[in-house]
Amino acid sequence: MSTPVRVAVTGAAGQIGYALVFRIASGQMFGPDTPVHLQLLEITPALDALQGVAMELEDGAFPLLAGMTLTDDAAEAFDGTNVACLVGAKPRGPGMERADLLKDNGAIFTGQGRALADNAADDLKVAVVGNPANTNALIAAANAEGVPTERFSAMVRLDENRAKSQLANKAGVSVAEVTNLAVWGNHSPTMVPDFDNARIGGQPLTDVIEDRGWLEGEFLSTVQQRGKAIIDARGASSAASAANALIDHVANWCGGKPTPEGDWVSMAVPSDGSYGVPEGLICGFPVTTDGAGAYRIVEGLELSGFTQAKLGSTVAELEEERDAVSDML
């Protein structure tokens, strides 16, 4: 057996954490031959609940689970961490403005960025799920002195998976037939699923689904509002599907599951200026990954006027968020 991958999960006793850690322990993030050591971080009042999660992990008797660390101390949680899944965040409370949410979460991600820089392994990779995910990733990266910025990402994969499922249903095909579906921008209702460059069964998607009114209307709004629809139906926000998307995100990036030849996936990563997105913003892009920690933004895609305009709006929102937390960058 190889050396265990040290995986930190923050907010590990929360809803997504509960859906995530068992799948990591069972080998779905890093493959069936890679042991993992789970480093679980929670706030102090949630440590009892975290203990319960750890007991259930023990009761899963996972052969790949090499060890666990349970703590409320970020330095301990990130000690030697290879992959950090930053899920824990402060939810938006009643009457709370978006700016307050940005600031409160900014404080968490400032501290976690520093703790990662001081304690994590040299090959650290970070996937941020806690909202506002893109801007939290920006803050963590800015405060992680010495860690290359491109090691920080935010998750837009749930949006991609949601979009693929809607498209597969519409076309009457298996979801596996829907490929090359990028989600551009912010993980927020402004994000943009790029149907112009997507494919179904290898054909341009727009040749298979010719109803452009549906693509620009109902499809887009269904994907953008899916999080709210889940809350309305379930009385709680997406958890298992979010954990599933994070498994996909990390597995493709550095869990030994490269993007299939000719396909791409969506990750929010620091912009290199591609497609007019200001450099440094953590923005959803189409990327190819090698499964071993490297990714590349797919260049040269043509965007329709519709998608280009939507990209402009989501990027403007990211810039506003960045400006609201400029004192933390």
Q: Which is nearer to ligand NAX, 199 or 295 (CB)?
A: 295
CB atoms under 10 Å from CB of 91, counted, come to 12
Instruction: Please state the closest distance from residue 204 (CB atom) to ligand NAX, in A.
Output: 27
Residue closer to ligand NAX by CB (options 215, 223) is 223
Among candidates 283, 269, 272, 291, which has minimal Cα distance to 312?
283
Does the protein bind ligand NAX through residue 321 (CB under 6 A)? Answer: no
Q: How far apart are CA 41 and CA 100, in angstroms?
A: 23
Read off the tokens for 316: 């403007």
Site for ligand NAX contains 47 (CB under 6 A): no
The window from 93-101, 138-146, 235-243, 248-256 that contacts ligand NAX (CB under 6 A) reads 235-243
Does 10 participate in binding ligand NAX (rule CB under 6 A)? Answer: yes
CA dist 177 → 144, 171, 205, 218 (Å): 39, 10, 10, 21
Strands lying side by side in the sheet with 65-71? 65-71, 36-41, 5-10, 83-86, 125-128, 152-154, 265-270, 282-289, 295-297
Q: Does 166 interact with ligand NAX (rule: CB under 6 A)?
A: no
113 binds ligand NAX (CB under 6 A): no
Q: Please work out, in degrees rounded to the nearest 5, the angle formed at the alpha carbon of residue 277 by the alpha carbons of 271 and 280.
A: 35
Q: Give the catalytic positions in this structure.
A: 187
Of 7-15, 168-176, 196-204, 282-290, which part binds ligand NAX (CB under 6 A)? 7-15
Binder of ligand NAX out of 5, 7, 9, 16 (CB under 6 A)? 16
Spell out, one character per residue from 252 to 281, where the chain touches ligand NAX: x when CB under 6 A holds, - when not. ------------------------------
39 is an interface residue for ligand NAX by CB under 6 A: no
Nearest position to ligand NAX, beta carbon:
14
Give the pairing of strands 203-204 and 125-128: unpaired
In whole angstroms, the minimum distance from the beta carbon of 58 to ligand NAX comes to 20
88 binds ligand NAX (CB under 6 A): yes
Separation between Cα atoms, residue 234 and residue 257, nearest integer Å: 32
Q: Work out whether 187 is an interface residue with ligand NAX (CB under 6 A).
A: yes
Checking DSSP bridges between strand 199-200 and strand 203-204, what pairing results, if any?
A: antiparallel
Quick one: which segment of 13-21, 30-38, 208-216, 217-225 binds ligand NAX (CB under 6 A)? 13-21
Helix or strand (DSSP H, E) at 10: strand 5-10
Q: Going residue by residue from 118 to 137, which x/- string records binding to ligand NAX, judged by CB under 6 A? A: -----------xxx-x----
* Cα 29 to the center of its chain, rounded Å: 13
Out of 32, 60, 91, 217, name the contact with ligand NAX by CB under 6 A. Answer: 91
Least CB distance from residue 220 to ligand NAX, whole Å?
Answer: 17
CA 177 – CA 113 distance, rounded (Å): 38
43 lies in the site for ligand NAX, by CB under 6 A: yes
Residue 168, classed as helix, strand or coil, is helix
User: Closest Cα to residue 106, out of 77, 76, 86?
Assistant: 86
Burial class (CB in 10 A: 0-12, 13-18, 19+), 76: middle
Binding site for ligand NAX (CB under 6 A): 10-11, 13-17, 41-43, 46, 87-91, 108, 129-131, 133, 155, 158, 187, 237-239, 242
